[in-house]
Amino acid sequence: MKARIMLATALVPLGLILAAVPENTTKPYKLTAEQLLEEVKSGTQFIGPDEVAGMLIAKDPSLQLIDVRSAAEFEKYSLPNAINIPLVDILSPEWESYLNQDIRLNVFYSNGTNDANQAWMITRQLGYNNNYVLQGGLNYWAETILNPEAPPSSAPNEEILKYNLRKGAGMALGGDASVNTAPVASPAGPVPPVQKREAKKRVQGGC
């Protein structure tokens, strides 16, 4: 049942995208609706907050965070070094070089997952690679990285280690990981699972 709910939360935005996005008159779509559906069902577009946090702390130059919320929301809060490409502007020619490339690992994010997933669907239908979605969005980021909940002392060592890593990451990234109250926000709907992804080409040195 849970798997069906997760799949439904992914397929509804797909249907909206296919129905609402206007016909592309400048570039033909390279993926059919059926091909895109198969990718959505696989869930390989998601990248977990722990991996993103690790890349941020390591200052990995191959990571590019892309905030698809409005400019007003972006000004209020954004992840470190993120750029703002509102979802309504995702097809603007000025952003094509950012989205259609094979060097950086672009990670779309929004408050939840829907808007970021829609941005990913559009870019994938255009055949763009190296674009992903932050699992659970900013809500899940706040819950897992900025304010992780301490496990009970009887928890397995793996859970305690994960908590300690998240607590350290949260402190390094500006969160108050010493506060172990209820999560400050929760993702809208089930958090999508993260599938194992193939390694991507990394930026070599430089900025």
Give domain status of residue 130, yes or no: yes
Q: Among 3, 37, 2, which Cα is nearest to 17's?
A: 37
Residue 138, pLDDT score: 96
C-alpha to C-alpha distance for 127 and 125, rounded to whole angstroms: 5
Asked if 18 and 169 touch (Cβ cutoff 8 Å), the reply is: no
Residue 41, pLDDT score: 85
Residue 191, pLDDT score: 59
Residue 188, pLDDT score: 46
Give domain status of residue 192, yes or no: no
Residue 83, pLDDT score: 97
Q: Characterize 28-43 residue by residue with b for buried, 16 or more Cβ atoms within 10 angstroms of its Cβ, and e for exposed.
A: ebebeeeebbebbeeb
Residue 187, pLDDT score: 38
Length reported for the chain: 207
Give domain status of residue 95, yes or no: yes
Spans of the chain below 70 pLDDT: 1-28, 175-207
Give domain status of residue 65, yes or no: yes
Give domain status of residue 191, yes or no: no
Tokens representing 25 are 């008159």
Give the neighbor-by-neighbor strand order of the sheet with 63-67. 46-47, 131-134, 105-109, 63-67, 83-84
CATH of the domain at 39: 3.40.250.10
Q: Domain of 104?
A: 2-22+30-136
Classify the C-alpha dihedral 73-74-80-85 as positive or negative.
positive
| 46, β-bridge pairs | 133
Residue 194, pLDDT score: 55
Give domain status of residue 149, yes or no: no
pLDDT digits (tens, 9 = 90+) for 97-145: 999 999 999 999 999 999 999 999 999 999 999 999 999 999 999 999 9
Give domain status of residue 175, yes or no: no
Number of domains in the chain: 1
Q: HEC profile for the chain?
A: CHHHHHHHHHHHHHHHHHHHCCCCCCCCCCCCHHHHHHHHHHCCCEECHHHHHHHHHCCCCCEEEEECCCHHHHHHCCCCCCEECCHHHCCCHHHHHHHCCCCCEEEEECCCCHHHHHHHHHHHHCCCCCEEEECCHHHHHHHHHHCCCCCCCCCCHHHHHHHHHHHHHHHHCCCCCCCCCCCCCCCCCCCCCCCCCCCCCCCCCCC
